[in-house]
Structure formats: C-alpha cells, structure tokens
Amino acid sequence: MEGRRTKGRASARGGEGIANMDLLRLSQSVYCFAGPTNVGVIVGPRGDAVLVDSGLDASTGKKLARRVTELGWRIAAVVNTHGHADHAGGDAEIRRRTGCMVLAPRFEEAWIREPLMEPLALFGGARPPAGLRNKFTMAEPCEVDGVIEPGLRDICGLSVRIEPLAGHSPNQVGVACEGVLFCGDAFFLPEQLSKHVVPYNVDIAAQLQSMERLLRSEWSVVVPGHGGVCPDPGAAVRVNAERVRQVADLVWECAAAGATAEQVVQSAASRLHLQIASEAHYYLFSSAVGAYLSYLESSGRLECDVVGPRLVWRAAEEARCE
C-alpha cells in the first residue's frame, strides 16, 4: 500500500486557521482568503459579501471581519460547508461583529449550535475527556439562522449553487458561483495526504460518490478546504480516491483474521508508521478506522460478532472464499 513507509500524523482533518489574509481573485465576483483553512468570499454588486466557511476560531473571525471591511464590503452571511470546528470556528465572532446570517446544511447546523457534539461523537457518545475539548475539535457555539439545501439558491441577493458532497462529514456541501466551487473537505491536496496518510471521513461510500461527482463536474476553479486553490483537482481527487481504497484494503487485512476495533486501530497505525501524539489524534484516527469497518461490513467484506465481552471483526464468509 502506498504510504506504508511514510511517517505521518493520523487522519487529515485540515489546518489551523488563516496564517495570512492574502486575497485571491478567482472570478469577477468570487475571491478566496487562502491559507491553512480557505475561506471563500462572494461579493454582490452593492458590496454585500457571503463568506464560505469562517476558519478556526474567534481570532480568525476577527481578522476576516476586519479585512472584509477594509476592502469596502459588508459581510451579509456565512455559509458553512460543514460543521467541523476548523471550518465554523469563526462563525460566532463574525456574527457578533457584523450581525450577519449564519447558514449551514441540515445536520451540520446542529454541530455549529451545539459544538460539544463533535468531541462527543469522537468519544463514542460519552462525555469527552479534556484532550478532545479544544478549539480544534470544539468551536464556540453559534446560532444558525437557516438551513441550506442542495440546488440553486439565492443568498443575500447572490445566486449560488449548493452541491451535495457528503462523506468527510455526514452532510457536507460545496458552494459554487461563477464557475468556482468551494468544496470543503471533499478531498485533500497530495501534500496533506503525505503528511497525514489517512484522510478523515465518516462515510466511505458517500465520500467515494462525492469524489466521483467532482470528477464528472466541470467547474473552472475548485477550492478545497485547506492548502489554497487546487491547480489540478481531477488529479488530486483521483489520488484521494485511490488512497481511500488502499486504506480500506489495509483495514480489511488488519481485521480479516479476527480482531477488535481497538486491535485494528493499533495494527493499522503500526503498519502505516503513524505517529499519534495526542488524544485528539488518536480519536480522529480511531473514528476514521471505524468508518472503514462500517464500509467494509456494508459492502460484504467484513462481519462482526460479540465474543465474550468483545466485539470481534473478521472477514465475511464470502470474502474469505474469494
């Protein structure tokens, strides 16, 4: 498997905010603050601006609000691609400073209103430990003014298309205008895959479908959630899809002879030479592996049974006979 000998950190989830406020113009009315977390800006003819995502935290939100004002625009809305803290962490500060609307997809909006849900999910539904309650996994709570659904939508007088791109999170969307698509974490740039090795996704089947949708699309510019504008999205998406399939095969190999989820996590980390340095990294990787176990079960390659006090995964009978 590609990347087995690469030392890395587990599970790509994204960056740490906007390192600088460089503004890229992508079309007549569409811009991007490029950085570890990319933030889109769609500007109407009267200077009303719609942000796509808001970065990591209040500090990022403050910088965005200041820079947009300096450019002579007014933030009318923030549209979130999904509810992860590194994309919605600036929502509350921007809403406080500007009075703008905050919009998000169904399900994702609940995580923005109740950010404890993110570390709660990572810790299996129980009260999360302190290592999972920080700005990287738990944003400041923010009221959400409306739910956005896929299709062509009017947002503050601007015509945008909402594209379904679930997989990285349960109901992630992309936001498109004037041939530019902000696609959230539907894929990661190759250098991020080299660093993190395992792309973080919660629904592997949905993620593969979203990447197929991206490969069939004809957007002139595609902006992933992290790392700047992607010069060749088709190539990057194919690398991501191949990595997902490779990780699925590896997880199957780790579980096929019979193993608990914890044993699969340990075996996969060892074989990938991953450096898991914190509680958050561990639970992100464990959650990502869980998504692969679920995917392999639904596709008929794995099955699980309760054996004594343990739940054991193993190759399904049909898969063992192949």
Please compute, for residue 2, the number of CA atoms within 13 A of its CA located in the half-sphere on the CB side: 15
Residue 56 structure tokens: 């990591």
**pTM recorded for the entire structure:** 0.92
Residue 297 structure tokens: 């079960």
- H-type alpha helices, the chain: 58-70, 85-88, 91-98, 108-113, 117-122, 190-196, 204-216, 233-255, 261-272, 279-298, 317-321
The pLDDT score that the predictor gives to residue 111 is 98
Q: In a 3-state reduction of DSSP, which class is residue 12?
A: strand
Chain segment 201-247, per-residue pLDDT in tens:
999 999 999 999 999 998 999 999 998 899 889 999 999 999 999 99
Question: What distance lies between CA 263 and its chain's CA centroid?
Answer: 26
Domain boundaries, the chain: 23-244, 251-321
Q: In a 3-state reduction of DSSP, which class is residue 86?
A: helix
The pLDDT score that the predictor gives to residue 22 is 81
Q: Inter-axis angle of helices 58-70 and 91-98, to 10 degrees? A: 40
Q: 149 with 106: CB under 8 angstroms?
A: yes
DSSP type of residue 131: G
Per-residue confidence at 195, pLDDT binned at 50, 70, 90? confident
The pLDDT score that the predictor gives to residue 203 is 98
Taking the C-alpha atoms of residue 185 and residue 15, their distance in angstroms, rounded to an integer, is: 11
What are the angstrom distances between the C-alpha of 78 and each of 146, 159, 228? 11, 14, 19
- CA dihedral sign of residues 296, 170, 310, 246: positive
Whether residue 171 is predicted with pLDDT greater than 50 in this model: the reply is yes
Chain segment 14-24, per-residue pLDDT in tens:
544 454 668 99
Domain range 251-321, its CATH number among 3.40.50.150, 1.20.1630.10, 1.10.10.10, 2.60.40.10: 1.10.10.10
Domain 23-244 has CATH 3.20.20.70: no
Taking alpha carbons only, the member of 172, 163, 255 closest to residue 207 is 172
The pLDDT score that the predictor gives to residue 319 is 61
